[in-house]
Structure formats: C-alpha cells, structure tokens
Structure 1
Amino acid sequence: MSSSVSTDDLGEELVSVCRTAIGDELRSITYFTADDHEQLYLRDDLERDADIDRFVANERLGFTSQQTYGNSELGDYEFTIRVFEWGYVTRTIVGEHGVYVTTDPLNMNEFHEVATAIRTVLEETIPDGSS
C-alpha cells in the first residue's frame, strides 16, 4: 500500500479503536484510497479467501458521495451504513482515505462510536486528513 503514513501504525490504531468500539461483533476492517486497499483485520472464524475487491470498488464511490452531499442542509457527511441479513458494512471517509468495517448486528450507538473513532484516527494520523 502506498501512503504517506506508516500503514502498520495506522492499521494497528484502526484495529484497536474498532475492536474497542465494537468488540467481538467486529468481522473485518479494510482501509482504502482511490488507488489501493488493505484488509487490516479479519475475525478468525471467517473465510480468508473472500474477494474484497468488489466491496472496495463500491466503497470508493463514497469519495464522490462526499462531494455530492457537501454543503447540504443535512450537515457534514459522517458515515454510511449498509444493512444485510446477517450483518452490516459501515464506511467512514476522511478526505482521500476511507475505512469500512463489517460487523454482526449492532445497535445505532455502536455504529456512531466506531465511525467517530475511525474519523479521529484518520484525522490525527494522516497529514491534513486529505493527503
């Protein structure tokens, strides 16, 4: 992964805050930019051969969504939740950097907690939050 920050340090920090916010219901964590991605965490009971490229391609659409919803009466974009039969995908984007996590079912407060934690890590770790 090409990045101006240490992927190891960023990855460790993201895993830590996500595990703290979500606990055992956390399934996976993937960091992505427009050009690259890395799965940072995958829970032990899940298959390692999943094709995450499709997920990453879809979550990258969030970079455009940020611009679409910018300056709306709704306020600033915070995070996106996708609901599935057996779990959720939650995406958080700061500038040109994004993270999505997959989880077992959670309550709304837990989604907000993990998105806030991810946003904080990205803003503090990546210069200007947008490089």
Structure 2
Amino acid sequence: MSQSTNNHTDELLSAARTATGDELRSLTYFTEDDIEQLYLRSDLSRTADLLGFAENERNGFHAQSLYADSQLGDYLFTVRVFENGYLTRVIANDHGVWVTTDSMEMDRFEELASALAAILRSFDPA
C-alpha cells in the first residue's frame, strides 16, 4: 500500500465507523494489484479469504465503465447481502474499499458509500 493510502487509513476508518457504528465488521482497501485489510473487529476470525473477495470486488472497476452512460446514471456502489451481514463496495477511479457490517438500516449504506467515495476521490493511490 502506498504512503498516500496509509495517510488516509484513519480517515477511511473514521468515515466507516461514523456511518456504521458498532455494526462495522471490517474495512479493506484494494486496487487492481494490491489489497490491505485496514480494520477487523476483534471478535472476528482472520480466516477470511481476502484474495478471493478481492478478485470478486475488483470486477467493480469494470462495472464503472460497463454502466457508464446508462439511463440509470453513474455507478455509485454495491451492497451484497449475506446471511450474517452485508458487504458494501465503493470504488473511485482506480482504487476502492469494501466494508463488511452486521445488519443495519438500508439508508445507512448510502451514507457509508457517499462518505467513503469522497475520501477515495481525495487522494492518489499511486
């Protein structure tokens, strides 16, 4: 991970924590070539397959161009629903984050995605 991203870890974590509160499970930063888990709640196991998740979430880089100029407007974020929680992916330019949470109200996902996208747009991951 680049020095620029390291400088923004606290900012990303603060935005995620503000939007999700105690429901925050994890926060992971990724690019096409890199992945780093920035936060994992202490009651969770570190056995998650981050590379497998990253491979799937990197498809979002292609979604940005795939959905460009659609009548739906620009692609904003993705929420995946699982039995034990949610995964929210936010991508800005050539980097992104995914956040896992416990169950929470749907409007909080938009708040989460908006805050994280603004931070991602503010720095250059190179």
Deviates more, 1:53-62 or 1:42-51: 42-51
Paired residue total: 126
* Alpha-carbon distance, 1:48 to partner: 1.8
Distance in 2 of aligned mates of 1:116 and 1:20: 12
**Match for residue 4 of structure 2 among 3, 6, 29:** 6
| Match of residue 39 from structure 1 | 37
Q: Does 1:115 align with 2:113?
A: yes
Matched with 2:96 is: 98
Identity percentage over the alignment? 56
User: What's the CA shift for 1:94?
Assistant: 0.4
**CA RMSD across the alignment:** 1.3
Quote the offset at 1:126 in angstroms: 2.7
Deviation at 1:123, TM superposition (A): 1.2
Aligned-pair distance for 1:49?
A: 2.8
SS for the counterpart of 1:90 is strand
Measure the CA separation in 1 of the matches of 2:22 and 2:123. 25
Q: Equivalent residue for 1:26?
A: 24
Question: One-letter code of the match for 1:65?
Answer: A
Unpaired runs of at least 5, structure 2 = none
Confirm whether residue 16 of structure 1 aligns to residue 49 of structure 2.
no
- For the residues of structure 2 that align with 1:49 and 1:66, how far apart are their CA atoms? 30
Instruction: Give the Å deviation of 1:106.
Output: 1.3
Report the TM-score, using the length of structure 2 for normalisation: 0.94
* C-alpha distance in structure 2 between counterparts of 1:51 and 1:74, whole Å: 32
Distance 2:44 2:64 in 1: 31
Is 2:92–2:121's contact at 8 Å kept on the other side of the alignment?
A: yes
- Confirm or deny that 1:56 pairs with 2:51: no
Structure 1: gaps (5+ residues): none
Runs of 4 or more consecutive aligned structure 1 residues displaced over 6 Å after TM superposition: none
Which digits, 9 at most, give the CA deviation of each residue in 1:55-109, with x for residues without a partner? 0110000011111101100011110010001100100000101110000011111
The separation in 2 between residues aligned to 1:108 and 1:6, in whole angstroms, is 31
The one-letter code matched in structure 1 to 2:5 is: T
Distance in 2 (CA, whole Å) between partners of 1:111 and 1:76 is 17
